[in-house]
Copies of this chain bind each other. A is one copy, B any other.
Amino acid sequence: MTISPRAPAGNLRVVGLGPGPEAWLTPEASAVLAEATDLIGYAPYLDRLPPRPGQTRHASDNRVELERARHALRLAEEGRRVAVASGGDPGVFAMAAAVFEAIDRGKPAWREIDIAICPGVSAMQAAAARVGAPLGHDFCAISLSDNLKPWAVVERRLNAAAIGDFVIALYNPASKARPHQIHDAFALLRRSKAPETPVIFARAIGRADEKITITTLAAAEPGLADMSTLVMIGSSETRLIARAGAQPFVYTPRDARASA
Residues of chain A at the chain B interface (Cβ within 8 Å): 18, 21-28, 31, 65, 89-94, 96-101, 103-104, 111-112, 116-122, 125-126, 128-130, 132-143, 148-150, 153, 156-157, 159-161, 163-166, 239, 241-244, 249, 251-258
The one of B89, B135, B253 that contacts A92, using a Cβ cutoff of 8 Å: B135
CB contacts (< 8 Å) of A92 on chain B: these are 125, 135-136
Least CB distance, A153 to chain B, in whole angstroms: 5
- Nearest-CB distance from A175 to chain B (Å)? 15
A241 touches B103 (CB 8 A): yes
Are the CB atoms of A100 and B166 closer together than 8 Å? no
Residue of B nearest to A249 (CB): B100
Which of B112, B117, B157 meets A138, CB within 8 Å?
Answer: B157
Given contacts A23-B27, A26-B121, A128-B91, contact A241 B100 (CB under 8 A): yes
Question: Chain B contacts of A25 at CB under 8 A?
Answer: 26-27
Say how many copies of this protein the assembly contains: 2
Partner of A255, one of B101, B138, B241, B242: B101
| Interface pair A156/B164, CB less than 8 Å apart | yes
A254 touches B23 (CB 8 A): no
Min CB distance, A171 to chain B, in Å?
9
Q: Are A103 and B249 in contact (CB under 8 A)?
A: yes
Do A97 and B137 touch across chains, with their CB atoms under 8 A apart? yes
Contact B254 A65 (CB under 8 A): yes
Known: A26-B26, A93-B254, A258-B101. Contact between A157 and B165, CB under 8 A? yes
Taking a contact as CB atoms under 8 Å apart, the answer to whether B125 and A91 are in contact is yes
**A161 neighbours in B (Cβ, 8 Å):** 140, 160, 164
Q: Which residue of B lies closest to A91 (CB)?
A: B128
Distance between A15 CB and nearest chain B CB, rounded to angstroms: 10
Contacts of A166 in B (CB 8 A): 140, 157, 160
Q: List 13 A-B contacts (CB under 8 A).
A: A23-B28, A25-B26, A92-B125, A100-B241, A117-B129, A118-B129, A119-B128, A119-B129, A148-B255, A156-B164, A160-B160, A160-B161, A160-B166
